[in-house]
Structure 1
Amino acid sequence: MTSVGSSILSALGAGSGIDTASLVSSLVSATREPKEGAITSRQSLNSSRISALASAISSLDTFADALTEVLSGAAYTGTPNSNDTSIASVSLLNGGSPAGLPAQLTVDQLATARVISSGVSAGASGSTVVGTGSITITTASGQTATIAIDSTNNSFSGLASAINAADLGVTARVVTDAQGTRLVFKGATGAANDFSVDVTADDGGSVLAGLGWSGTDSATMSSSSAPQNAKITLDGVAYEYASNTIDDAISYLRIDLNKASPGTTVTLSMTQPTAGLSDLLKEFVDAYNTLMKALNTATAAGADSSSAGVLSGVSSVRDMKRQLAAMSSTPLASTGTYRTLADIGVTTNRDGTLSLDTDRLASAMESDPEGVTNMVNPKTSSAANPGLAKLMDSVRDNIEKDDGPLKLAQERYDSLSGDFTAQLEKLDEQMANYETHLTTIYAAMETRLSALKATQSYLEQQIEVWNNSDS
């Protein structure tokens, strides 16, 4: 692309014999390069720091999440069991391990829902017209939805879709069998979840007109199931629930009631963990050291700037390493002989990495296996007994908090990235102006030199004429 300066020179004519375009280009380059180099060097370092901080945070998140997942898995918590899954089955909920097992359960009654169905419309299908008007569904809790039935939804299928879209806790489905087609309504399980249906039909003889139900069966609508609560007895105490899925009878344990069987006792229990705590701690130390060594490399001072780590001198990363290194001495339990990782042989080295004294760990496990297990992986985490996973999560959350050093450093480097881009754009503008300025100066010089050369040529011609006339 032709520059403004070279265009000026071309227009005026380079009569001096000096390559002023090349001279201007060289002068602009000589001015630009040190400034541009300084900016791009700082820009490159800043970009590397942004990338390294993002990588460090990602690695920390991966480590913390993996630790939580491993410790909450069946290998370290055990597996819940029911000795009769046809009556009740169990599964773990996230957040901890069930306490108080084994427990004795009797399922006296399942939770059921109100189910009502219309009379059979022989020869009909889902697309059969049911009539127009409106249908109002009212739940026992007082929620109401009125649905207009017109030419867009006046079929069995259209009406069912409209009822489901009302999202009132009452669903509808179209059932077609050898007898014909009917509309079936179903509410939520539980004694408090009954409902009624009120209809206003444009045609008193339509199918729609017969869909009303307010607690009494009729020739066109009948109930096949009444709403009731599930009734169980757990360790001798009677309870009622609106659902057959129970999450709060035993902490961190879901109980699914499958069949009522009064008088039959089901035993709910937990198997022992299959994975050893010693293996877990070895894996924890190895994974932790991988993370810490990467941080050490990134923050290494180096002999000079070229050999220093990309995060050398970044105080927020030093703070991150400090918080991680403190984990071995942070209490995981408030009572007992073993309260910290250091107590069972996990200690912090001078470079922040961890070491595991397997002999000391073995001695602790032999002396108090339950105490060590509850310290590292308690059944229920608390402020006084957080366990290793919760401690890791709290350290991670503190490192990554919005007003913490790490997040502030990220924001600062992101801001600098924009500043460097703006500086380069400004330098481009300055250099363009500088080139124009130099070109104007050298163009004026060209004009003067051309005039002088013309005068010189004239004088030389005159001298030659004089000399020739004298001879």
Structure 2
Amino acid sequence: MASSIGYSLGIGSGIDTKSLIADLTAAAKGPKEALIKQREERNTAQLSTLSQVAGAIDSFATALSSLVSGGTLYSQPAVSDPTMFTAKSLAGARLGGLSAEVEVKQLAKAQSLVSTPLASATTAVGQGTLTIGVGTKTFDVVIGAGNDNLDGLARAINAAKSGVTASVITEAGSARLVLRGGVGEAQAFTLSVPDGTDSGLERFAYGPSVTGGMALTQAAQDAIVSLDGVDVKRPSNTINDLIDGVEFSLLRAEPGKTVTVGVSRPTAAIEQGVNDFVAAYNELHSMLAEATRIGTPGKGDGGVLRGDLSVREMQRQLSQLTSKVLNNGGEGPRTLADIGVATNRDGTLRVDAFRLKAALETNAEGVEALFNPGQSSSSPFVSIVSKVGKVKPGAYQLTDLVPPNGSTPGSGKVNGVAMIWSGSSLVAPAGSPALGLTVRLAEGAPATATINVDFGLGGALQAVRDSLRSRTGPFTSSQERLNAEAESIADAREKMEMRSEAYYNQLVKQFGAMESRVSAFKATQSYLEQQIKMWTAGK
């Protein structure tokens, strides 16, 4: 303890060895720590900026996808009387010069039944089995001692999951059972009990030969619509196969009244959409340019991601958007460059307003197709059943196609992989790049066909985003590299701290030894001085 206190105070040498050791340790550690700190700050900045860039491409792709899917950038049906029905364009539809006359003669409705009044919802209904018949299917509803009342009957009918729903309506002094089936004639239902049933459950039977059972308040019926004078029946009030690419929602029927359906072209919205895309692109381009800026004397060290391969790849793919084929169909524009979107020398985009306007005037549907991608088959005998957006954009080769023949299912391959026969269609298998693709083969189908699923602008940008952000993509590689570098820096700091501590302990030991020797020398000096004084005083 004494030697430790002496070392701290520098008693032996008179030197502040504690401060000296601290200064020497700091001097040895300082340059290394400064270098590590510089690496830490740069690594942190790179990770942060890479995250911002990745978030920016995500936001850009999501915003464009939402804009496109919202339907404001492609033509919509124009209905002369929207109180009769509404109509909307389906994704990928090409309405062309749509012009039609529609008459709603009858709405599709659900069958409804009501029972005779009972005293209350807890009144016994009778035990036994009530069978619900819907089409060719039957569902048994068993009433026993535990559910022998109107509420119990309603719960049992709902539990049968037949498509018939039950509810109990309570009025002053009475309660009635109300049943409702699905919409359309095919959803009509019957209720029956075994012959000879007299428990009271027979009061809830219904059918052509039933007497004294439930009363019909609304018969099940299909919708009847006349399109250009031709009557068609549909089991729902939502109809998407009346006019190709148009979905109708029937609201009311008025026989004899004709409603015209035309096309509304969103030219102003497309112009605004193109300009908004260019503005967002240029904002993203500026972010990337700053992140990869080359350092110049007097202007700093440049962007933190200069030389990063993932950002370079992102810049390369984005720069190709103006020349990428977005639409393979028709004779209209196929790229953004075709409608006046050009690249400046600094990599930003600009819009040639006159060229865009001219394209909209001469081929509005073609311009619209760049935002509203479609899908097509090279053969009229091979039809695409899957909806637009279900299959990743690209070209898919169908080979070895064999249409179904009687009980023999159809077969074929997509990109060399066998497809699965399901119902009446061929389906791309799990793991296939064409996942989601469903096609139907008609008699006379060729052995080969090509399915083209257009990118559209939203799909093209999403493809860029997906390639960059995939598990094996450049962004993931950069993220892993920077994370590994962060671990390496942390390891270097730990080793530096260990070496610094070891050096500090070494100095403490060395200076401690020095202090001990100096103290011994001083003790000897003091003894000699005393002896000399005694010798001198005795003369």
User: What TM bracket, shorter-length normalisation?
Assistant: 0.7 to 0.9
The one-letter code matched in structure 2 to 1:35 is K
1:319 paired with 2:313, answer yes
Distance 1:355 1:110, change over 3 A: closer
Q: Residue in 2 aligned with 1:457? A: 526
C-alpha contact 1:131 1:149 (8 A) present in aligned 2: no
Alpha-carbon distance change, 10 to 376 in structure 1, aligned in 2, over 3 angstroms: same
2:332–2:363 contact (8 Å) kept in structure 1: no
Instruction: Please say if 1:409 is aligned against 2:478.
Output: yes
Give the counterpart of 2:346 among 335, 343, 351: 351
Asked if the contact 1:135/1:147 (under 8 Å) is kept, the reply is yes
Cα shift readout 1:125-165 (whole Å, capped 9, x = no counterpart): 7xx687999999977486979899999x9997798689768
* Structure-1 separation of matches of 2:246 and 2:71: 13
* RMSD over equivalenced CA pairs, Å: 4.6
TM-score (norm 1): 0.75
Instruction: Name the counterpart of 2:41.
Output: 44
Shift of 1:312: 0.9
Superposition map of 1:394-433 within 5 A: 394-433=463-502
Query: CA-to-partner distance for each residue in 1:53-98, whole Å, 9 max, x for gaps?
Result: 2222333333334444445556543443333444422234556565
Distance 2:315 2:251 in 1: 51
Task: Give the number of the structure with larger relative contact order, counting CA–CA contacts within 8 Å between residues 6 or more apart.
Answer: 1
Q: Counterpart amino acid of 2:50? A: L
Q: 1:24 to 1:238 in 2, by over 3 A?
A: farther
Pairs within 5 Å for 1:172-251: 172-193=166-187, 224-234=217-227, 240-250=233-243
CA pair 388-235 structure 1, distance change in 2 beyond 3 A: farther
Contact 2:295/2:301 (8 A) holds in 1: yes
Is the contact made by 1:228 and 1:242 (CA closer than 8 Å) also made in structure 2? yes
Which string of whole-angstrom CA distances, capped at 9 and with x for unpartnered residues, describes residues 389-441 of structure 1? 44333333334333221232233324433443454345445544543444344
Greater per-residue strand proportion = 2
1:410 corresponds to which letter in structure 2?
Q
1:330-369 to structure 2, matched below 5 A, reads: 330-334=324-328, 336=331, 338-361=333-356, 364=359, 368-369=362-363
Q: What TM-score comes out, normalization by structure 2 length?
A: 0.67
- What does the per-residue CA deviation read over 1:83-123, in whole Å, with 9 as the maximum and x for residues that have no partner? 3444422234556565673334344543333444555344x
List structure 1 runs of 4+ shifted beyond 6 angstroms: 129-139, 143-151, 153-168, 195-199, 209-212, 216-220
Where 1:259 maps in the other structure, the secondary structure is coil
- Distance (whole Å) between structure 2 residues aligned to residue 280 and residue 416 of structure 1: 42
Match of 1:21 in 2: 18
Alpha carbons 1:74, 1:273 under 8 Å: kept:
no
1:176 partner SS = strand
Instruction: State the aligned residue count.
Output: 454
Shift of 1:52: 2.0
Deviations 1:287-340 (A, max 9, x none): 322222222222111226933112211122111111111222223444536443
2:311 is paired with a residue of what secondary structure?
A: helix
Alpha carbons 1:344, 1:364 under 8 Å: kept = yes
Report the more deviating stretch, 79-88 or 286-295. 79-88
1:275 partner SS: helix
Code of the aligned partner of 2:341? V
User: Where is the helix percentage greater, Structure 1 or Structure 2?
Assistant: 1
> Cα 1:432–1:350, aligned 2, differ >3 Å: closer, same or farther?
same
- Determine the structure 1 residue equivalent to 2:98: 101
Structure 1 residue 393 corresponds to structure 2 residue 462: yes
Unaligned runs of 5+ in 1: 1-5
Partner of 1:3: none
Point out the more displaced range, 95-104 or 60-69.
95-104
Q: Is 1:82–2:76 an aligned residue pair?
A: no
Matched-pair contact (CA < 8 Å) for 1:98–1:250: no
